[in-house]
Chain A
């Protein structure tokens, strides 16, 4: 079983739509959780950290369910500029971050 699994997509949504991405992780000892965004042939950029209580940053909401080992990202009111690949990333204490393969989002005008 892969350590971090994501639906690869692509998700093709119209502008203004709400879209949700899911991610599961296999190691129950994981302690830190992030969503990164990666544009085509660019570096991953931190979108937001994910906390147990859930957190929101503008149009973006992240949730963590430790019991189910499940992380989600919700994007409301999608913009064309949201088109990218969204990477689910998991960390465990002093070990390096583990990346999912990413979910590709295309927002269409």
Chain B
């Protein structure tokens, strides 16, 4: 069964450092997303990406965040200068359509900022 894969599974970084989280969406999907989940809280939308550009972003996705699809398979989330409050699980997801279809999630990257 096709799946979304994310690397690394766990990343520890010092405050102020840059991190790049990587995702390989399901191959025939066209829409890609990043969500995050702070421990004990709900899954929150960060950004959606379609046709090589951001289609929507939340208020969480400020100037320190960026996304890129550097080649035909990878989808990355960069956090430029990490803060303690960026510590969370970051989930990549993909879907074959935005119109009323489900999204499939990767196993997540646990980011710990120290």
Contacts and interface: CB of A to CB of B under 8 A. Distances in A.
A87 B37 CA distance: 13
B42 A44 contact: no
B43 A44 contact: yes
Contact of B106 (A43, A49, A94): A43
Interface in B21-54: 33, 35, 41-45, 48
A100 B41 CA distance: 10
Chain B contact patch, size range: 20 to 34
Contact of A94 (B45, B99, B102): B99
A91 to B, nearest CB: 6
Contact of B108 (A34, A43, A87, A99): A43
Interface in A33-91: 34, 41-46, 49, 87, 91
Contacts of A94: 55, 98-99
Contacts of B106: 43
Contact of A44 (B48, B56, B91, B98): B91
Given A96-B45, A100-B42, A43 B102 contact: no
Nearest to B101: A32
B104 A46 contact: yes
Contact of A97 (B45, B99, B107, B110): B45
6 tightest Cβ-Cβ pairs between the two chains A and B: A32-B100, A43-B105, A99-B43, A101-B42, A94-B98, A96-B45
